[in-house]
Amino acid sequence: MKPAFAVLAAAILALATPTAAAAQVIARPSSAPTIVPGTAAPEIDLATLGGGHVRLSALRGHPVVVTFWGTWCPPCRVEFPGLVGAYHQYRDAGLEVLAVNQLDQELNTREVEAFVKEFGVDFTVALDPRGRSRRSFKLIALPTTVFIDSGGVIRTVHSGPIGAEALAAGIATITAVK
């Protein structure tokens, strides 16, 4: 194989192989325009992993970080420790974290339970069995993190894995903590 062809083949393979640093595409960008900062967040009304129920509108009065994720998504696994840490750091300032699992893309609920236990998740985990929240938020990739202020208005949307700096910046847009 000629060197130039080998480099081209390696580049194509790298682009075709999802990595832990890349978002997992779940819809074509042209088919799902993203939600817009400055607009009211769509309602989320789902059962929780613990057997309860959660409505996003019931969290008004609190800044909320909503993360959309799946256990099968490598970038979701990479970012979850940061989300857990941020929740512990800012929960006394009123921060709520709502982790919306795309249950319609999971093998079973036991996988979700194992993930939550592995990462020590102690914030609310909602189960979306039909992908309704994914469609109402017009997601194109997992993970996606949405920062919603205490009035229910979307302030920032981060598609793809979120690092510590972007997570802190997003939280700063919805809290008084700078």
With respect to residue 111, please indicate whether it lies within any of the assigned structural domains: yes
Q: Is 178 strand, coil or helix?
A: coil
**How far, rounded to the nearest angstrom, does the alpha carbon of residue 51 sit from its chain's CA centroid?**
21
> Could you give the CA distance from residue 173 to residue 178 in angstroms, rounded to a whole number?
9
The first and second tokens of residue 132, run together, are: 């309704």
Domain count across the chain: 1
With respect to residue 92, please indicate whether it lies within any of the assigned structural domains: yes
Q: What is the pTM of this model?
A: 0.82
With respect to residue 7, please indicate whether it lies within any of the assigned structural domains: no
| Stretch 33-60: mean pLDDT | 92
| Stretch 142-167: mean pLDDT | 96
With respect to residue 4, please indicate whether it lies within any of the assigned structural domains: no
Q: What CATH number does residue 43 fall under?
A: 3.40.30.10
Residues spanned by the domain of 36: 20-174
